[in-house]
Chain A
Amino acid sequence: MTTHTLRSKRRRSALRNAAFMSPWLIGFSFFFAYPMVSTVYFSFTSYDGFGAPAFNGPANWTYVFRDYPMFWPSLWNTLWLVLVVVTCRVVFGLGIGLLITKIKTGTGVFRTLFYLPYLAPPVAATLAFVFLLNPGTGPVNAILGDFGLPTPGWFNDASWSKPALTMLAVWGIGDLMVIFMASLLDVPAEQYEAAELDGASAWQKFRFVTLPNISPIVLFAVVTGVIQAMQYYTQPLVAGKVASGVIGGSGQSFEPGYPDKSTLTLPQLVYNLGFQRFDYGAACVVALVLFALAMAFTALLMRGRNNLISASD
């Protein structure tokens, strides 16, 4: 075979491969690469969405990191929610999945009951929680008061608003429960039998049989949970608005992140800066920070995955 024929064959092969990959390549270029490059570019410009962008160097970056008073509180809130909400959702999702796979009767009923909240629209669910946890008129505090227990301010108290949001997130745990149930039912029964013959306790069976088998699912739940928590927008925004007394009425101003910026998250800043203040440049900086955080968390988790899975093996 001549060199020319070989080259021609390789070129044809490369073209064929590219043709097969083209749907992905087109999607990647238009929906990831192009927005990504644009976001980086806009972060170095003064751009209001109406006129042409004008290069302004690192001005947006210094503004966001040094002069924008909402950035650091919202970064802290986002990290808090990532750590606490993801942990709680995975622990409770797995716990409920374990319980439901163990019970003998009424499995269908419980499965439905725990799954239903996941189907509730986020705005409706948040409104219901704000109503239930209203410190003045809500039934939760009325019951707590009847038992002589402390009655927190929930969404009206900066130290309780994030725990209240966590409760809301844990309430809608149906998605994780279903995934964990499927993986738990997939664990080979003979491994449990062998562990029982060896005299393993319930905890030892969970630690040395269940967990190693479901560790890829746990990793999946954590990685997707982290990304979801980074994008947490609707629930904190609605909770903050409603609890601060602003429900409707165009033109009304409200305290972002009420109370005391405690429900302010990075996605809210992207919206506020870009779409309300017409400052695309600064909004792009916050979006890139979110992207970098999501990448860092995912890289850490993927690195930890090998240890987790190898330790399990």
Chain B
Amino acid sequence: MRTSRLTTTAVAVAAISVLATACTGQSEAGASDDPDAKTTINFWHGWSAPAEVKAVQDNIDRFEKAHPNITVKVSGNINDDKLNQALRAGGSDGPDVVSSFTTANVGKFCSSGAFTDLKPFIEKSKLDLEKTFPKVLLDYTQFEGKRCALPLLTDAYGLYYNKDAFEKAGITAPPKTMSELTEVAEKLTVEKGDTYQQLGFMPNFHGYETVVSHYMPSWDHAYFDENGKSNIAEDPAFAKMFTYQKKLVDSLGGYDRLEKFRGTFGDEWGAKHPFHTGQVAMQLDGEWRLGMAEDAGVDFEVGVAPMPVADDEADSYGKGYLSGTIVGIAPASKKQNAAWELVKFMTTDTEAVVNFSNGIRNVPSTLEALKSPDLKFDPRFQTFLDIAQHPKSSTSDGAVNGATYQLTLQDFGYQYEKGAVKDLQAGLEKTAKQIDTDIAKAK
């Protein structure tokens, strides 16, 4: 009797567990909807500023005009966390077309099936991706051969500098090598008691965009070896970058002093950004800063240049870090063919890409759009167009667990810059081991 009850309980538990797995969002195989039928699809994106939301809507209006049978319901301000939940839940109110600003998560999106494999759609539309998109953009929108996303505009990172401050300090040109960056940053730094009236450059890893992954393109590097193992302890570029950054931190006043000064900074996305207020004279940032500085009404002339490169890689000056918005299709969508029409339009139609780029003030993501005479931009924006097309510009590698490896490396950076880790090589080896463990766990 007792055994029988135990068996019944075990079966009930197993049944509940099976039910639990059945209740989650599962991918649908293939797409059978008619893209010419009258339908409504949901598009979820992350933009939130009024000007950006308007640019998205303008783009959607152009799509609806070209595809009168498809109505697009747009939802903005969707970050990756919200997106992940919606993709898991599925349902008729869930998104059909999804976008994310986190290119580093493509590995996770593709390997988990969170984004639909676009290969059948691309083949059906006979799209030649190599002739449409720059190589780096094609790399960061696929993972291990599985293409689950396409690039929707690009972000190129460069160096912003305060031309007035340069003139006052007698500096005539932006730095081109990392040694020059140190020299110029020191010259531009004006101390005031135990703080700063003006800091030449905020090198700390918490200094908004001055994170490990954005510094790294200045050194030729590879995050992973050919076996997919972390390469950060083997590739000398990483040790060189951390050594350089730590020296720069020390030469500009030390970690504690810089961190205290950082506490006085305004919000990265607001008018009180330290570059706008003149608190820092140089800033590593994306192309969007140009428009934001303009909107903030800065009272100095803004200069833009590529980020300086390692001293022994001076011939590759002009390269930079690239990332951007990615767009894909939800696996639970019942309207994947209609969704593909929107994805294809937004990512490959030159006119759409150019207009959207003009509206959002991001770098266009197709080869044709990059050369389009219809691009309306400040002449300084050309610097970012050039960085986007530079053959040595790079992005962070994809991984099965998304940006986790970058966060682990970044975490090591925080410890190293403040002096909590003394032995750089040992620290890098330990971090590489952790990255490998996390990746093995995610597989």
Q: Hey, which bits of chain A sit against chain B, CB under 8 A?
A: 34, 37-38, 41-42, 47-53, 59, 63, 67, 69, 134-137, 153, 156, 244-253, 255-256, 258, 260, 275-279, 282
Q: Which residues of B contact A244 (CB under 8 A)?
A: 206
Cβ-based interface call for B306 (8 A): no
CA distance A260 to B206 in the complex (A): 12
CA distance A255 to B212 in the complex (A): 12
Between A137, A246, A255, the greatest number of chain B beta carbons within 10 A of the residue's beta carbon is seen for A255
Q: Assess whether A137 is in contact with B46, with CB atoms less than 8 Å apart.
A: no
Name the contact of A253 in the complex, choosing from B26, B264, B406, B437 (C-beta under 8 A).
B406
Q: Which residues of B contact A49 (CB under 8 A)?
A: 24-25, 84, 88, 112
Given contacts A67-B437, A256-B407, contact A136 B79 (CB under 8 A): no
Q: Assess whether B114 is in contact with A245, with CB atoms less than 8 Å apart.
A: no
By beta carbon, the residue of chain B nearest A244 is B206
Name the contact of A51 in the complex, choosing from B20, B113, B401 (C-beta under 8 A).
B113
CA distance A135 to B256 in the complex (A): 12
- Chain B 401-423 near chain A by CB (<8 Å), digits 1 or 0: 11110110011001000001000
Q: Which residues of B contact A134 (CB under 8 A)?
A: 263-264
Q: Which residues of B contact A38 (CB under 8 A)?
A: 16-17, 20
Q: Assess whether A48 is in contact with B112, with CB atoms less than 8 Å apart.
A: yes
Q: Assess whether B407 is in contact with A52, with CB atoms less than 8 Å apart.
A: no
Report 24 cross-chain contacts, Cβ distance below 8 Å, ordered by A residue: A38-B20, A41-B13, A42-B20, A49-B25, A63-B437, A67-B441, A136-B262, A245-B265, A247-B267, A247-B268, A249-B269, A250-B46, A250-B101, A253-B403, A253-B406, A253-B410, A255-B206, A260-B414, A260-B420, A277-B401, A278-B108, A278-B114, A278-B401, A279-B442
CA distance A244 to B103 in the complex (A): 22
Q: Which residues of B contact A251 (CB under 8 A)?
A: 46, 79-80, 100-103, 323
Q: Which residues of A contact B277 (CB under 8 A)?
A: none
Which residues of B (269-310) have their CB < 8 Å from a CB of A?
269
CA distance A248 to B411 in the complex (A): 20
Q: Which residues of A contact B108 (CB under 8 A)?
A: 277-278
Q: Assess whether B84 is in contact with A245, with CB atoms less than 8 Å apart.
A: no
Cβ-based interface call for B260 (8 A): yes
Chain A interface main SS type: loop
Q: Which residues of A contact B437 (CB under 8 A)?
A: 63, 67
Given contacts A251-B100, A278-B108, contact A245 B441 (CB under 8 A): no
Q: Hey, which bits of chain B sit against chain A, CB under 8 A?
A: 13, 16-17, 20-21, 24-27, 46, 48, 78-81, 84-85, 87-88, 100-103, 108, 112-114, 195, 206-208, 211, 259-265, 267-269, 323, 331, 401-404, 406-407, 410-411, 414, 420, 434, 437-438, 441-442
By beta carbon, the residue of chain B nearest A48 is B112
CA distance A276 to B102 in the complex (A): 12
Q: Which residues of A contact B414 (CB under 8 A)?
A: 255, 260
Q: Which residues of B contact A255 (CB under 8 A)?
A: 206, 410-411, 414
CA distance A48 to B25 in the complex (A): 11
Name the contact of B260 in the complex, choosing from A63, A135, A258, A282 (C-beta under 8 A).
A135
Name the contact of A136 in the complex, choosing from B16, B80, B260, B404 (C-beta under 8 A).
B260
CA distance A251 to B269 in the complex (A): 13
CA distance A47 to B437 in the complex (A): 17
CA distance A13 to B101 in the complex (A): 62
Given contacts A247-B268, A277-B402, contact A37 B46 (CB under 8 A): no
By beta carbon, the residue of chain A nearest B442 is A279
Q: Assess whether A249 is in contact with B102, with CB atoms less than 8 Å apart.
A: no
Name the contact of A137 in the complex, choosing from B20, B264, B404 (C-beta under 8 A).
B264
By beta carbon, the residue of chain B nearest A70 is B411
By beta carbon, the residue of chain A nearest B89 is A49
Rounded to whole Å, the gap between the CB of A28 and the closest CB of chain B is 13
Given contacts A67-B437, A255-B414, contact A245 B101 (CB under 8 A): no
Q: Assess whether A276 is in contact with B268, with CB atoms less than 8 Å apart.
A: no
Given contacts A251-B46, A256-B407, A277-B442, contact A37 B13 (CB under 8 A): yes
Q: Which 8 A-B pairs have the closest CB atoms?
A: A251-B101, A136-B263, A136-B264, A250-B79, A250-B46, A38-B20, A251-B102, A41-B17
CA distance A144 to B116 in the complex (A): 57
Q: Which residues of A contact B331 (CB under 8 A)?
A: 50
Given contacts A247-B268, A251-B80, A251-B101, contact A50 B21 (CB under 8 A): no
Q: Which residues of A contact B261 (CB under 8 A)?
A: 136
Q: Which residues of A contact B78 (CB under 8 A)?
A: 250
Rounded to whole Å, the gap between the CB of A256 and the closest CB of chain B is 7
Q: Assess whether A41 is in contact with B88, with CB atoms less than 8 Å apart.
A: no
Q: Assess whether A63 is in contact with B441, with CB atoms less than 8 Å apart.
A: yes
Q: Assess whether B20 is in contact with A245, with CB atoms less than 8 Å apart.
A: no
Q: Assess whether B259 is in contact with A50, with CB atoms less than 8 Å apart.
A: no
Q: Assess whether A50 is in contact with B267, with CB atoms less than 8 Å apart.
A: no
Q: Assess whether A34 is in contact with B21, with CB atoms less than 8 Å apart.
A: no
CA distance A195 to B103 in the complex (A): 72
Q: Assess whether B259 is in contact with A59, with CB atoms less than 8 Å apart.
A: no
CA distance A260 to B268 in the complex (A): 21
Q: Assess whether A50 is in contact with B114, with CB atoms less than 8 Å apart.
A: yes
By beta carbon, the residue of chain A nearest B79 is A250
Given contacts A52-B21, A278-B84, A279-B441, contact A156 B263 (CB under 8 A): yes
CA distance A51 to B88 in the complex (A): 10
Q: Which residues of A contact B267 (CB under 8 A)?
A: 247-248
Q: Assess whether B268 is in contact with A59, with CB atoms less than 8 Å apart.
A: no
By beta carbon, the residue of chain A nearest B202 is A245
Q: Which residues of A contact B112 (CB under 8 A)?
A: 48-51, 278
CA distance A250 to B79 in the complex (A): 5
Q: Assess whether A245 is in contact with B81, with CB atoms less than 8 Å apart.
A: no
Q: Assess whether A282 is in contact with B441, with CB atoms less than 8 Å apart.
A: yes
CA distance A69 to B16 in the complex (A): 33
Name the contact of B268 in the complex, choosing from A245, A278, A282 (C-beta under 8 A).
A245
By beta carbon, the residue of chain B nearest A255 is B414
CA distance A206 to B26 in the complex (A): 61
Rounded to whole Å, the gap between the CB of B439 and the closest CB of chain A is 11
Q: Assess whether B262 is in contact with A245, with CB atoms less than 8 Å apart.
A: yes
Rounded to whole Å, the gap between the CB of A278 and the closest CB of chain B is 6
Rounded to whole Å, the gap between the CB of B68 and the closest CB of chain A is 32
By beta carbon, the residue of chain A nearest B49 is A248
CA distance A135 to B85 in the complex (A): 37
CA distance A48 to B115 in the complex (A): 13
Q: Which residues of A contact B85 (CB under 8 A)?
A: 275
